[in-house]
Structure 1
Amino acid sequence: MAGKILTGRPENIPEHEWRFRHLCVIRDEAIGACAASDFRQCDQVPGRVIQYLVLERRPLVRTDGTAADDAQGRPTVVAPGLLPGQPAAPWGRADQGCFDITPLNPPPSPAEVFSYFERLPLPQLTTQHQPPGNGLTGLPVIFYTDSPTTQTFTVDIRGFSVVIEATAEQFTWHTGDATGQIVTTDPGRPYPDQTIEHAYRSGTYTAYLTVTWGATFSVDGSAEADVPGTTTTDGPPVTFDVLQARPVLTNPYD
């Protein structure tokens, strides 16, 4: 992790450039592996980000061609040809310990969480219909879905553990005929407690379900907040026939 602090115009150059680094990164560069001791714990404060890090610095060339002492307090010899603002010496360790880095790595914003929410593998809800085979004119087709309408995801956003609770908020039933769509806020139920019905003329139809998902999120166990936006998924299509029922006279004595 690097937190680079370098601001100002050439006539207002800071004395040093600073950065934070993890012990594991430093050891990995040196020997190609980390150690368990690299992962040191710090006392946490609600709403803050506190990590055990190494603070490094290196001097920058001043406007007069000189530079401040290096991280070990040794005089810096500026190599010929370096311009003001350029590094005059390698990085050196200035301090290490538990640092509050909240300003350098703020918690994910609602908009940032929404960008992750849009890419989650949300369920594609299947369309169930009754009767399960062919339908009959004059007998409405019942629609419902028995797929899960909630799902929980845990994602890592810049080192923060973000829990996203997705909920199906709206169901758009594409009926496959000229009447278009049925929009509901419930997933429907099968017979005899059905809530979604549609009457068809005879023919072959393909229906499917579009679900609008909303969500809440929490960051590292914080209070839940609303994700500012929704996303949709389309379920697999289902094709069925609706037949015309015709009365047939029969001879009861045959």
Structure 2
Amino acid sequence: MEVPPGAQPGDLLGRWTTVRTACIDITALNPPPSPEEVFAYFQRLPLPQLTTSHAPPGRGLAGLPVVFWTDAPITQTFTVDVRGYAVVIVAEAQRYTWRTGDPAAPTLTTTVPGGAYPEQATEHLYRSGTYTASLTVTWGATFTVDGSAPADVPGTTTTDGPPVTFDVVEAAAVLTNPYD
């Protein structure tokens, strides 16, 4: 049968003829989402932009380390509908890349979010000046389809947190008279 000009998918082109009446398995017509398809969804998820915390707050002291960490949640769970399948994606922060703002040591990479002193995992010694530090988080994930066994999402995605600017100052020695 020839398709008339202007016909759209789903338009009726002729009369229906019943060939047989039966139940047909249409699973092959709508297979479960592939890992690559889930990865495409994973890349578009609203993953958090983790904030950079640092100590000491406000100003650092030249020659003493500035400690970096993030307190934000490092695991996020999302449920998405992919062609009628309930896909649960569990994203987890895998790598933290700290941009120090110091040309002498531009990045520091860890696999943990760190913490304030004494649980620090990332620290940097600065000279006096003004610096802008930021954090890029690399996320990996696993997924399930309609309650299946978990599988790895093939690939990672990243988020960039907001930058934080701080000053590092030199300590000045001051002589005092202990008898005053």
Give the TM-score normalised by structure 1. Answer: 0.63
Contact kept, 8 Å, 2:136 with 2:159, in 1: the verdict is: yes
Deviation at 1:216, TM superposition (A): 0.4
Higher relative contact order, chain-length normalized (CA < 8 Å, sep 6+): 2
Which of 191, 204, 211 is the matching residue for 2:117?
191
> Aligned ranges for residues 100-179 of structure 1 at < 5 Å?
100-178=25-103, 179=105
Structure 1 residues 158, 95: CA separation in 2 closer, same or farther (over 3 Å shift)? farther
Which of 192, 201, 208 is the matching residue for 2:134?
208
Letter in 1 for 2:170: Q
Structure 1 residues 244, 96: CA separation in 2 closer, same or farther (over 3 Å shift)? farther
Rg comparison, structure with higher value: 1
Deviations 1:27-65 (A, max 9, x none): xxxxxxxxxxxxxxxxxxxxxxxxxxxxxxxxx58xxxx
Q: Distance in 2 between matches of 1:120 and 1:158?
A: 17
What 5-or-longer segments of structure 2 have no aligned partner?
3-11
Q: Distance in 1 between matches of 2:76 and 2:21?
A: 41
Q: Distance in 1 between matches of 2:148 and 2:51?
A: 34
Q: Distance in 2 between matches of 1:88 and 1:221?
A: 41
Aligned residues: 170
Aligned twin of 2:176: 250
Q: Distance in 1 between matches of 2:132 and 2:101?
A: 5
Q: Distance in 2 between matches of 1:136 and 1:95?
A: 83
Deviations 1:193-219 (A, max 9, x none): 212110000000000000000000010
What 5-or-longer segments of structure 1 have no aligned partner?
1-59, 62-86
Give the TM-score normalised by structure 2. Answer: 0.88
Q: Distance in 1 between matches of 2:47 and 2:21?
A: 42
Structure 1 residues 103, 251: CA separation in 2 closer, same or farther (over 3 Å shift)? same
Over the residues paired in the alignment, what is the CA RMSD in angstroms? Answer: 1.9
> Aligned ranges for residues 33-48 of structure 1 at < 5 Å?
none
Aligned twin of 2:162: 236
Deviation at 1:91, TM superposition (A): 3.9
Deviation at 1:157, TM superposition (A): 0.6
